[in-house]
Structure 1
Amino acid sequence: MAPANTPWTVHGAPASGSIAIDAALTLLGTPYKLIDGATWADSAARERVAPLNPLRQITTVVLPGGEAMTESAAILIHLADLHPEARLAPGLADPRRARYLRWMVYVSSAICSLHWIKPDVGRIGVPPAARDGVVHAVHERIALCWTHMDGQLSPGTYLLGDELTVLDLYVTVVSRFGPWRQRFCEVAPRMAPVVQRVDNEPRLQAFWRDRFPLDGQ
């Protein structure tokens, strides 16, 4: 096991789901080692992650104690719970906790999981020639999922009220993926002002610029 003071190690890539973890660590001021590699496009990155994650994909992190952890939503939940003083998640006794957990898992299972199909539609038994149609269908399904989420939330300043949480970070990052932010704002008008507020969070301006610029979406 690694010493307790060993920094977090994040295997990720610019413009990927790992950016939400990077953003949370940045807000917390937690030191971490970043190892970039787009596992969906880079065989060397897949091999580098393989000993930690048999699926050979990011996001994969190594915790300070030496344990590997995967799944962005789970990592964000764990990270926020490690730092209750930062108030990046509702506590166990907070009435918003169930709502928070529901939507963290929803974004992961109903939306993020669909992006896994796009780099290689053969993963679901579809020939490469059908890729454009499959990607279009995936984007339509994602838009529908955002619409359902938007209809069941009543955001305040942020998605769960007046405090920024890792749910806001997660949705802000994932909303930048296909079918892209403009479509997100069209289908999720209640959530749109929140993600734009997180885009403009002063503590994250340099971070967004370096890791996931929004220009061109």
Structure 2
Amino acid sequence: MTHPYKLYGCKRCGSVPIEAALAEIGAPYEAVELDFAGNEQWGDAYRKINPLGRIPALELPDGTIVTESAACLLIVCERHPEAGLLPPANSSDRGRLYRWLMFASNNIYEAIGRVDYPERYVEDKAAAPGAERVAMKDLERFWQMVETHLKPGPYALGPRYSALDLYLSVLARWSVRDWVIDNCPRLADMVRVTAARPKVAPIWQHHFGGEPL
């Protein structure tokens, strides 16, 4: 490596699972914490890194920029197979991981955006509360699908810990949190076990405080 990974993120945002994966791997990295409340992600400096102004972005040791949280997570894990955060390439668990990671990225993450910023999805701002309610219902439906398809724990793929646990745990911590606790016990247990892992716990504490979910 010519230099460590550089991870652009902020507190409680989409960079958290990548940061946790880097910690689990033991790979050297520099965490660049952007001022999200101050809209630093929309500034010219960061827009040169990610023109969409979205977090996270990951600079690889050779200077290549990767965006999109699931892509950042996968490339880190693929480059460090010794950490075991991805199941073997020819295993059925690798297919399950890809399926649910992409499901979470394309559906759950997107619905969280509609909950947080409903006014961006409607022409008439008066319709924003309705858009938020629809997004909340979508989240409940999506999380129930994940709950139904989880293997017997403690992790999403059963006894095997993987990058999928990191990704799902962060998204569950963001969205319909009380509903998840009340209606998705297997998912809630997976988050608690993941957040308590020795290398994940300090990062979780930094971003989310003492509560795992």
Same fold, TM-score > 0.5, yes or no: yes
The answer to whether the 8 Å contact 1:19/1:212 transfers is: no
CA displacement, residues 93-121 of structure 1 (integer Å, 9 cap, x when unaligned) = 12211111000100100100122334443
The answer to whether the 8 Å contact 2:9/2:33 transfers is: yes
Report the CA distance between 1:37 and its aligned residue: 2.0
Report the CA distance between 1:161 and its aligned residue: 2.2
Question: How far apart, in 2, do the equivalents of 1:179 and 1:38 lie?
Answer: 25
Most deviating of 20-29 and 43-52: 43-52
Over 6 Å off, 4+ runs: none
**Partner residue of 1:86 out of 83, 88, 111:** 83
Sequence identity percentage: 29
Higher helix share: 2
What's the TM-score once normalised by structure 1's chain length?
Answer: 0.89
**Partner residue of 2:181 out of 181, 185, 197:** 185
The answer to whether the 8 Å contact 1:155/1:161 transfers is: yes
Number of equivalenced pairs: 212
What's the TM-score once normalised by structure 2's chain length?
Answer: 0.90
Question: How far apart, in 2, do the equivalents of 1:215 and 1:61 lie?
Answer: 27
**Partner residue of 2:48 out of 44, 51, 54:** 51
Question: What does residue 33 of structure 1 align with?
Answer: 30
Correspondence list, 1:103-118, <5 A = 103-118=100-115
CA distance 1:120–1:185, change in 2 (3 Å): closer
Give the match's secondary structure for 2:85. coil
Report the CA distance between 1:142 and its aligned residue: 0.8
CA distance 1:136–1:216, change in 2 (3 Å): farther
The answer to whether the 8 Å contact 1:143/1:187 transfers is: no
* 1:162 counterpart = 2:159: yes
The unaligned stretches of length 5 or more in structure 2 are none
Question: What does residue 135 of structure 1 align with?
Answer: 132
Q: What's the Cα RMSD here?
A: 2.0
**Partner residue of 1:102 out of 99, 102, 120:** 99
Report the CA distance between 1:188 and its aligned residue: 2.0
Question: How far apart, in 1, do the equivalents of 2:129 and 2:35 lie?
Answer: 21
**Partner residue of 1:122 out of 116, 119, 123:** 119
